[in-house]
Amino acid sequence: MTLEILTADSLSPLRHGFFTRRGGASSGVFAGLNCGTGSSDQADVVAINRGRVADALGVAPDSLVSVNQIHSPDVVEVNAPLHDKPRADAMVTATPGIALSILTADCQPVLFADTEAGVIGAAHAGWRGALDGVLEATLDAMEALGAKREETKAVIGPSISQRAYEVGPEFMDEFMADDPENARFFANGNGDRLQFDLQGFGLHRLRRAGINQAEWTRHCTYSDQNRFYSYRRSVHSKEADYGRLISVIRL
């Protein structure tokens, strides 16, 4: 099966893609293009999958760089292939031939580009990272390389949608403590449960930071099992583990 790669016109002509699970070599609960080296999938099979992604982006496998994601606001500048993954949740570069990759399974993968300045970024923005400022930190790091936020565009890839993202009142309390206006990103659910709009919050933070353009591809990871991995769906299905989707951008 060929790879399925979702792209955004706003990031063209840069090579990029939000890869679905289709077209990979993994099997079982990981069936498809599992690119998560931290999963319990076979390491050699994950390497095959990542090699297919590198080929699709036209880079060597070691130029498909990633970080040890920890739900932080931390950003690293990448100028060469990384032999040891730093602990961070976003990367920026102005170096041609480096492909920045983010792994997700419900959290937001966000790809950034200032095509005029030749600066790109990629961020892993779950609720904690987004609340703590990883999106704004990525824009700051891009500006340090010569980008302008008013010229930068960002696209949020496949991630869990509000109708599938049920949370408790204590979750909402953290957002209300940050800004009472964050109440707009919550809808009433069953009983004391709430439904959180992760992408709405991400778009709000990006636009408030002064970005030129921000959008979501409008793909929900939880609701489309044939195309996407989902951590929450794996928990509800009582599966032992789950695959990780990969999202990539390069100069």
Tokens of 107: 């959290």
The residue ranges of every structural domain in the chain are 5-250
Per-residue burial over 150-173, b if 16 or more Cβ lie within 10 Å, else e, is eebbbbbbbbbbbebbebeeeebe
| Low-confidence spans in the chain with pLDDT less than 50 | none
Cis amide linkage into residue 96, ω under 30° from 0: no
Q: Which of 232, 239, 167, 234 is nearest to 201 (CA)?
A: 167
Q: Which of 173, 200, 208, 167 is nearest to 184 (CA)?
A: 200
Q: Which helix (H) or strand (E) holds 125?
A: strand 119-125
**Alpha-carbon dihedral angle through residues 13, 17, 22, 26, given to the nearest 10 degrees:** 130
pLDDT in tens, 39-69: 999 999 999 999 999 999 999 999 999 999 9
Distance linking the first and last C-alpha atoms of the chain: 27
**CA dist 140 → 2, 98, 146, 173, 183 (Å):** 37, 20, 10, 28, 27
Fold of 5-250: CNF1/YfiH-like putative cysteine hydrolases (3.60.140)
pTM: 0.97
Could you give the residue ranges of the DSSP H alpha helices within the chain? 43-57, 127-132, 134-144, 169-178, 198-208, 231-236
Helices (H) and strands (E) in the chain, counts: 6, 14
Residues 6 or more apart whose CB falls under 8 angstroms from that of 97 comprise: 59, 63, 250, 251
pLDDT of 62: 95
pLDDT of 83: 85
